[in-house]
Chains A and B, each alone.
Chain A
């Protein structure tokens, strides 16, 4: 057993060095530059005498210098300052976490964490309201069953009717010449075309903004879908406003929101969740389901919705299964040691096997 482990450890390190598919690693093992060989420094002479009476004689070679530095292949002298310049804090960086926080690393979606500062939250909400405004103005322009791209085509097709500056100038000249009759009926269609073009410009502007926010498929989104997302966003923002109100304990002020009761229920659910934890009792069955509907899908599908968990404390037959709990809750409990050496958990309603919580990284399931 030990033999196998040792062998494979050794193997693992060799593996990494040789791994050539990962371009990042290739950079590391390829030498960045060549060190100039001693022999390539031309014109050096051996040391002769150290002193000529009082005057110190420096030998005409680079030996002394080579002790505290080296030349690279281009002949640039580089001091070996590895000992002097050394920042101890670099050792303390957990690179896994650094990468984790990097927005690029996790694709376009930034992991939203509970600990987000209020600054970010505000940013997010203003972004959301902006997107909502854009969506609703797009809806105004679009016709039913039309995608944005189609609408642009529809609005752009009369573009040729709009007279260019030179045409207008010509028309004016004509007018002065006296043929006004044909002019008036044309004017109407021109005005319409101009209005349509304005709409089109507005539409492209809005789409551009949404694309910058990461909604890449806006041009292909039909009217119905936009109205649906808009509805969803409105509900969501209302809910989030509610929870903020709940947090600050002045729910009375904001009672105008019709679904206030739901929000309160939510809170109650959370409280109960905590109660369940503190008593470690059998309150599990009484646990009210959180507002998020548990997904009935098997764990096989990597769904974007929030993952829910259930757990039991040991493997014996009579151990009760508790849950569902949210990923963030599970992550908190496993971090603060509530689970002790680890409990057995699995995804809610997955019917799969239970895994030890110590081996599960709940952060991965936090979207």
Chain B
């Protein structure tokens, strides 16, 4: 329910957001504003956005309003976070087996900032895949 983070309302806007950002990571949250998982994630994103403004920019996309990417990015989780740098999707080894996205909601601000910073530093060095500082594989055990 964040009205402060910018929403993207169509596929063209999403493409442009990813394309036009020259030296920052583009973080896109795909989901629904009314979804409880997204609400938690948006809260974290909102709090982080200002701290990350030097190296990342955050956008929100409603996957019902903009279904263009649902198939391409396999967006069927309630909340999906993906990272792009200079028109390239950056993968993160989160330990979950899915390196493409964060498909749960994160509550720890610093943790998320650390991930984005790792993505940023990795992407700037030309890596397409970075390793997240924390292993999230244990998440599913509970």
Contacts and interface: CB of A to CB of B under 8 A. Distances in A.
Interface of A: 1, 4-5, 8-9, 11-12, 14-15, 18-24, 96, 99-100, 102, 105-107, 111, 298-302, 352-353, 355-356, 359-361, 363-365
A21 B127 CA distance: 16
Contacts of A359: 131-135
Interface stretch (B36-44, B58-66, B113-121): B113-121
A11 B126 contact: no
B97 to A, nearest CB: 4
B98 A102 contact: no
Contacts of B2: none
A21 B100 CA distance: 13
22 contacts: A9-B97, A11-B98, A15-B100, A18-B72, A19-B89, A20-B72, A21-B84, A22-B89, A23-B87, A99-B126, A99-B127, A105-B125, A302-B120, A353-B111, A359-B132, A359-B133, A360-B133, A361-B118, A361-B130, A361-B131, A364-B118, A365-B121
A212 to B, nearest CB: 21
A3 to B, nearest CB: 11
B113 A299 contact: yes
Contacts of B54: 301-302
Contact of B114 (A1, A352, A361): A352
B88 interface: yes
B117 A299 contact: yes
Contacts of B127: 96, 99-100, 364
Given A299-B114, A359-B135, A364 B122 contact: yes
Contacts of A106: 124-126
Nearest to B72: A18
B126 A12 contact: no
Nearest to A350: B110
A364 B113 contact: no
Interface in B84-103: 84, 87-89, 96-100
A107 B120 CA distance: 13
Contacts of B48: 300
A248 to B, nearest CB: 33
Contact of B72 (A9, A19, A361, A363): A19
A42 B69 CA distance: 45
A19 B84 CA distance: 12
Contact of A361 (B15, B122, B135, B140): B122
B85 to A, nearest CB: 11
B10 to A, nearest CB: 16
Nearest to A303: B54
A9 B52 CA distance: 30
A299 B110 contact: yes
Contact of B99 (A12, A301, A353): A12
A198 B132 CA distance: 56
B134 A355 contact: yes
A100 B18 CA distance: 23
Contacts of B134: 353, 355, 359
Given A102-B126, A360-B133, A301 B51 contact: yes
Contacts of B133: 355, 359-360
Given A300-B52, A359-B133, 18 more contacts: A5-B97, A8-B98, A12-B97, A21-B87, A100-B125, A100-B127, A107-B23, A111-B125, A298-B51, A300-B113, A353-B108, A353-B110, A353-B134, A359-B131, A359-B134, A360-B131, A361-B122, A363-B125
A189 to B, nearest CB: 47
Contact of B130 (A4, A102, A364): A364
Contacts of A1: 140-141
A22 B87 contact: yes
Contacts of A4: 97, 140
B46 interface: no
B104 interface: no
The 10 closest A-B pairs by CB, nearest first: A105-B126, A300-B51, A364-B121, A355-B133, A99-B126, A8-B98, A8-B97, A5-B97, A302-B55, A352-B110
A312 to B, nearest CB: 15
A24 B87 CA distance: 10
Contact of A356 (B73, B124, B135): B135
Nearest to B122: A364
Contacts of A300: 48, 51-52, 110, 113, 117
